[in-house]
Amino acid sequence: MIIIQRPVLRDNYVYLVHDEHTGMTAAIDPPEASTVLRVLNERGWKLTHILNTHHHADHTGGNLALKEATGCVVHGLSSTREFIPGLDMTVSEGDDIEFGNERVRVMSVPGHTQNHLAYFFPQARALFCGDTLFGMGCGRLLGGTAEQLWNSLRRIAELPPDTAIYCAHEYTENNGRFALSVEPGNAALIERMKQVRARRAEQLATVPSLLREELSTNPFLRADSPEIRLGLGMLQASDLPVFTRLRQLKDEF
């Protein structure tokens, strides 16, 4: 598997995943078509799939032009059919998509929106999670609930720790500043932020990250952290209220 990552719009990433054995190529959450078409032309690839995680325009804006140019098949949730341009193939929790030698696992991860998918490539150890999980952050609640998002993040946390997290935005540095505000004593977080700041100073991507990095530095996966709980005054609370409060604080950060 070859994974190509390109920045688009202001802070989005679009991904192309290519299977060398079959020639299949998927674009994941394309906001626009020109960048994808340029990569396809440079590589001599033919686009066969579009995988949409959710319906927002900065994830689907390139669908129709790419479909017209390549004849690719657009995949997404049936409940978002009227919102995802060009949707051909509906998929949902527990489905597999045959993609070369991979069987891509479709995961339902609502919270950022009421209906949101992630695509897990188990052999490549790659998760394309849209706006559910970010580097040291998570998506805003734009239609879903805090409980849904917390449960979705818990599902992702159960994947192999060496899973590469391909999220859809370059938000890591700002997310890290918030993470430091709620867990300033986290040594792993302090070290990661040094690396993130150095990369962004060179205008380099901080995505993908590894799940193990997120588990040790992302406050939205660390509702059980004593330091976070102490700072929030929620030592005896269950995880969901702690997560909900963190999400509220991040919205105001």
Per-residue model confidence as pLDDT tens digits over 126-162: 999 999 999 999 999 999 999 999 999 999 999 999 9
Q: pLDDT grade, residue 181 (50/70/90)?
A: very high
Q: Structure pTM?
A: 0.96
Is residue 239 within 8 Å of residue 223, measured between CB atoms? Answer: yes
**Res. 79 pLDDT band, cuts 50 70 90:** confident
Q: Which of 18, 59, 75, 116 is catalytic?
A: 59
Instruction: Please give the pLDDT value at position 171.
Output: 98
Catalytic residue from among 18, 49, 116, 169: 169
- The pLDDT value given to residue 11: 97
* Mean pLDDT for the chain overall: 97
Backbone angles phi, psi at 170, to 5 degrees: -95, 80
Confidence of residue 81 (pLDDT cuts 50, 70, 90): confident
pLDDT at 69 over 90: yes
8 A C-beta contact, residue 177 and residue 194? no
- Is 56 an active-site residue? yes
Q: What is the pLDDT of residues 163-179, one digit of tens each?
A: 999 999 999 999 999 99
Catalytic residue among 18, 49, 54, 116: 54
Strand-pair partners of 118: 107
Q: How much of the chain exceeds pLDDT 90, in percent? A: 97
Q: At what angle do helices 187-201 and 172-182 cross, to 10 degrees?
A: 150
Write down all domains in the chain, each with its CATH number in brackets: 2-167 (3.60.15.10), 172-252 (no CATH)
Distance (Å, whole) CA 81 – CA 61: 14
Residue 33 C-alpha from the chain's centroid: 20
Average pLDDT over residues 230-242: 98
pLDDT at residue 80 is higher than 90: no
* Structure-block tokens of residue 32: 């626009």
The answer to whether residue 49 is catalytic is no
The yes-or-no answer on residue 169 being catalytic is: yes
Mark whether 11 is an active-site residue. no
Mean pLDDT within 219-241? 98
Confidence grade of residue 82 (pLDDT, cut at 50, 70, 90):
confident
With vertex at residue 125, the alpha carbon angle to CA 79 and CA 72, rounded to the nearest 5 degrees, is 45
Amino acid 78: pLDDT: 81
**Is 18 a catalytic site residue?**
no
CA distance 9 to 152: 27
